[in-house]
């Protein structure tokens, strides 16, 4: 069946691919650490790229927090850590009433977000700290305390992100790499609120392109600050152009189809621990440089 | 027969569901294919095409808007919101993405 042309979504001017191919953002840059969130269709390669990205960023000297907010977590595999539960435990969270009497949750007294990350994350090779959302529901279907604790970390990161450049705090130096749930249900509200750049991972296949376009549309509705695409599993030169044309998003990185990644998937190991010279690693290395140039590591 | 296909993202749920639906329909069994994914792509795998997939009115959206306040039966809803796909598979999208809510992933 011939492809049906569908108008590309309108993207704010700052996101249009321009004559200079460098990243541009509507958001003022203050030289903070890299903070990105990977989104895209299930199976597009979010976790695979995010794991390599986080470890390479750490090799560059950044202090990196990897956040897996997928209830079916997979980032542990691509980081190369045992996939045991590594989230904020219930005992680290307390309930309180706000001024209007609403029940809310926060990290228990004396525990700030930075300390909670140090305490409860799992450290990967190259020193990336991994936190998982894990199980989101308690026995009665309510949000679990663990879930609330994870949200408290996101809140703290968001608060810190919007703070003045010279404000100091235990979170100011953390680079953050988020792996969001697959699909389009609500990638921008909530789970990606720590990010300065949303990276939409898109394969050059009809379903993945369609998801990429839907995400672009949602991003526009949500006024997400800076949304760009990564063309993944490309096999032909035209694939990255196809992703740009069909999603309306600027493609800032291209990751070729890599048999080494498929083998790493099959064995359940990190690509970096299997073949650190593979084409995918080279491509993600370039991606780290691109984003670090825009969002300098300090 | 009522079958639900589940699994990890990218593992092949949609492709499997589409092949099952069309295979049943080819055997002469009246078949209804429901896309319950909030990022619905089943239309592409069934061969309905991208444009019709995107335009298909989501049953639940219409119900949520009160459009079907008095529509009782499932059959009536499907008459109105499902379309005929290849091999005679009836196809409807149950949920869609236009109004993502904060909260659960």
Q: What is the pLDDT of residue A199?
A: 95
Domains and CATH numbers, chain A: 30-294 (3.40.50.300)
Residue to substitute from A184, A205, A220, A242, interface B, most B β-carbons within 10 A:
A184
pLDDT on residue A225: 72
**8 Å CB contact between A297 and A196:** no
Give residue A7's pLDDT. 42
3-state SS string for A228-240: EEEEEEECCCCHH
Residue A276 is predicted with a pLDDT of: 94
Give the residue from chain A lying closest to B101, CA to CA. A186
Q: 3-class DSSP state for residue A208? A: helix
Q: pLDDT for B42-86, tens place per residue?
A: 999 999 988 888 888 666 666 666 655 555 678 887 888 899 999
The answer to whether residue A198 neighbours chain B at the CB level (below 8 Å) is no
The span from the CA of B88 to the CA of B29, in Å, is 10
End-to-end CA distance of chain A: give it in Å, rounded: 50
Contact between A4 and B41 using a beta-carbon 8 Å cutoff? no
Residue A233 Rama label (left phi>0; alpha psi -120 to 50; beta): left
Q: Is the dihedral of CA A84, A297, A195, A9 positive or negative?
A: negative
B-chain residues near A218 (CB < 8 A): 97, 100
Q: Check residue A136 and give its pLDDT.
A: 67
Q: Which residue has the higher pLDDT, A185 or B88?
A: B88
Q: Choose the closest CB to A4 out of B38, B49, B104.
A: B49
- Confidence at residue A297, expressed as pLDDT on a 0 to 100 scale: 42
Q: How many CB atoms lie within 10 A of CB A251?
A: 22
Task: Reduce the DSSP state of residue A45 to 3 states and report it.
Answer: coil
Nearest to B9 among A42, A69, A187 (CB): A42
Domain ranges of chain B: 31-93
Task: In whole angstroms, give the CA distance from residue A197 to residue A227.
Answer: 6
What is residue A232's predicted lDDT score, i.e. its pLDDT? 98
Asked if the Cβ–Cβ distance from A41 to B10 is below 8 Å, we say yes
Instruction: Decide if B21 contacts B9 (C-beta within 8 A).
Output: no
**A44 touching chain B per CB within 8 A:** yes
- Euclidean distance between CA atoms B38 and B22, whole angstroms: 22
The answer to whether residues A105 and A152 touch, using CB atoms and an 8 Å cutoff, is yes
Distance in angstroms (rounded) separating the CA atoms of residues A243 and A210: 10
> What is the spatial distance between Cα A75 and Cα A51, in angstroms, rounded to a whole number?
6
User: What is the DSSP annotation of A236-254?
Assistant: STTHHHHHHHHH-S-EEEE
Do A191 and B105 make contact, defined as CB atoms within 8 angstroms?
yes
Decide if A26 touches B, using CB distance below 8 A: no
The interface residues of chain A toward chain B in range 140-179, judged by CB-CB distance below 8 A, are none
Q: Do A72 and B8 touch (CB under 8 A)?
A: yes
Q: Do B100 and A183 touch (CB under 8 A)?
A: no
Strand partners, A131: A67
Query: Which residues of chain A fall short of a pLDDT of 70?
Result: 1-31, 83, 136-139, 141, 162-169, 186-189, 294-298
* CA-based nearest residue to A66, from A202, A174, A172, A160: A174
Name residues 114-133 of chain A within 8 A of B (Cβ): 133
Alpha carbon distance A24, A40 (integer Å): 21
Please give, rounded to a whole number of angstroms, the shortest distance from the CA of B36 to a CA of chain A. 12
Q: Residue B94 half-sphere exposure, CB side, CA atoms within 13 Å?
A: 9
- CB of A3 less than 8 A from some CB of B: yes
């Amino acid at each position: 069946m011939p492809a049906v042309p569908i108008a590309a979504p309108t993207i704010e001017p700052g996101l249009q691919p321009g004559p200079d191919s460098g990243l541009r953002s509507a958001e003022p840059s203050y030289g903070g650490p890299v903070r990105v969130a990977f989104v895209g269709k299930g199976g597009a390669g979010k976790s695979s790229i995010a794991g390599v990205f986080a470890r390479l960023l750490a090799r560059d000297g950044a202090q990196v927090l990897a956040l897996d907010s997928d209830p079916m977590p997979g980032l542990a595999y691509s980081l190369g850590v045992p996939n045991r539960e590594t989230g904020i435990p219930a005992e680290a969270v307390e309930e309180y009433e706000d001024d209007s009497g609403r029940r809310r949750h926060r990290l228990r007294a004396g525990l700030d977000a930075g300390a909670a990350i140090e305490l409860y994350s799992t450290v990967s090779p190259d020193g990336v700290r991994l936190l998982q959302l894990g199980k989101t529901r308690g026995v009665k279907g309510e949000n679990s305390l663990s879930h609330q604790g994870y949200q408290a970390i996101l809140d703290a990161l968001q608060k810190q992100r919007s703070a003045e450049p010279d404000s100091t705090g235990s979170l100011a130096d953390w680079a953050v790499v988020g792996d969001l749930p697959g699909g389009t249900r609500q990638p921008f509200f909530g789970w990606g609120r720590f990010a300065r750049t949303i990276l939409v991972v898109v394969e050059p296949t009809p379903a993945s392109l369609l998801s990429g376009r839907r995400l672009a549309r949602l991003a526009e509705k949500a006024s997400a600050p800076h949304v760009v695409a990564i063309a993944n599993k490309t096999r032909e030169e035209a694939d990255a152009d196809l992703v740009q044309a069909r999603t309306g998003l600027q493609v800032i990185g291209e990751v070729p189809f890599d048999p080494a990644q498929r083998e790493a998937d099959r064995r359940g190991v990190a690509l970096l621990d299997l073949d650190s010279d593979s084409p995918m690693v080279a491509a993600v290395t370039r991606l780290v440089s691109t984003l670090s140039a825009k969002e300098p590591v300090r | 027969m009522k079958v639900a296909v589940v699994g990890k993202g990218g593992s092949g749920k949609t492709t499997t569901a589409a092949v099952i639906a069309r295979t049943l329909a080819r055997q002469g069994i009246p078949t209804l294919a429901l896309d319950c994914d909030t990022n619905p792509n089943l239309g592409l795998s069934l061969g309905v095409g991208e444009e019709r997939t995107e335009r298909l009115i989501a049953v639940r959206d219409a119900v949520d808007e009160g459009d079907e306040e008095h529509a009782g039966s499932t059959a009536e809803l499907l008459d109105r919101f499902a379309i005929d796909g290849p091999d005679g598979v009836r196809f409807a999208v149950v949920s869609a993405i236009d109004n993502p809510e904060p909260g659960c992933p």
